[in-house]
Structure 1
Amino acid sequence: MASTEPALLQAKQKLAERFEMKDFGELHFLLGMAIKRNSDSLSINQQPFIKQILSKFGMESCNPVSTPAGTDEKLLKSDGSKSVDAKLYQSIVGSLLYLAVGTRPDIAHSVGVLSKFNSCPTVTHLTAAKRVF
């Protein structure tokens, strides 16, 4: 889709009449999402953000797994394991939630389950969160 299409130019002109704006050209990156557009397709991914959070949480060299959660794993509020830093856990879960909402619906259920333990996370919960990475 070329930016010289009449309908697009007309829309930009109408917006410019009402709002102060600048046209920076074709969009390539927005809110942590890389955007690629061809003549007949649009693709969105969060690879830069994924690399950033893997680095932030020291998970750059983590091993891949086939599922974001263990198939026989049942997380409990009080599982007997040691408590971990709640802010660290919440930061991990928040980052994963942003991915799930943006471009990774395949991890949404696992992240939703992990978010239940934001107030009192344990080592077991943190390990489960790291598995999603």
Structure 2
Amino acid sequence: MSMIGELTYFLGLQVQQTNEGILISQEKYAKRLLTNFGLESAKEAQMPISTTTKLSKDESGKPIDPTLYRSMIGSLLYLTASRPEIMLSVGICARFQAAPKESHLKAVKRIIVYVKGYSDAD
């Protein structure tokens, strides 16, 4: 690595090396999530998941594209490496990957928008 210079960005991780230590963050990755899923202009959320919403199988809900849903869940799971406060919310939403409905997609989008609200990259 020394031949190409100091490490600054690797696999979605920003690396900042100082005399005090090494700072690792995923701010660029979080910002890219917003762009990838079209949520740049969404209003910020105060909590990753609503305390009043109870997610269930939602048999009567409208089905959505499972590929998109799984992509969002996978992206958020990678983000939990530096954002442990979203781990529970992402885990709850990940349970519904087999047959996701609109209510599940709404919950996942809220988590992404929450990350936007607590991002230093804004």
Which of 89, 105, 117 is the equivalent residue of 1:110?
89
Structure 2: gaps (5+ residues): 113-122
Q: Distance in 2 between matches of 1:79 and 1:59?
A: 27
Look at both structures and tell me which one has the larger radius of gyration over its CA atoms: 1
Q: Is 1:74 equivalent to 2:74 in the alignment?
A: no
Which portions of structure 1, spanning 4 or more consecutive aligned residues, are displaced by more than 4 angstroms?
Answer: none
Question: Which amino acid letter does the alignment assign opposite residue 98 of structure 1?
Answer: Y
Q: Distance in 2 between matches of 1:46 and 1:124?
A: 27
Deviations along 1:26-52, one digit per CA (max 9) or x if unpaired, are 211111111111101321111211122
How many residue pairs get matched?
Answer: 112
The aligned residue for residue 100 of structure 2 is 121
User: What does 1:1-133 align with in structure 2 at a 5 Å threshold?
Assistant: 23-100=3-80, 102-133=81-112
Q: Distance in 2 between matches of 1:36 and 1:80?
A: 48
The aligned residue for residue 118 of structure 2 is none
Please, what is the CA RMSD of the aligned residues? 1.5
Question: Which amino acid letter does the alignment assign opposite residue 114 of structure 1?
Answer: C
The structure with higher relative contact order (CA 8 Å, sep 6+) is 2
What's the CA shift for 1:69? 0.4
Secondary structure of 1:109's counterpart equals helix
The aligned residue for residue 15 of structure 1 is none
Higher helix share: 1
Identity of aligned residues (%): 38
What's the CA shift for 1:61? 1.1
Q: Distance in 2 between matches of 1:111 and 1:29?
A: 25
TM-score (norm 2): 0.85
Q: Distance in 2 between matches of 1:105 and 1:58?
A: 23
Q: Distance in 2 between matches of 1:129 and 1:112?
A: 10
Secondary structure of 1:34's counterpart equals strand
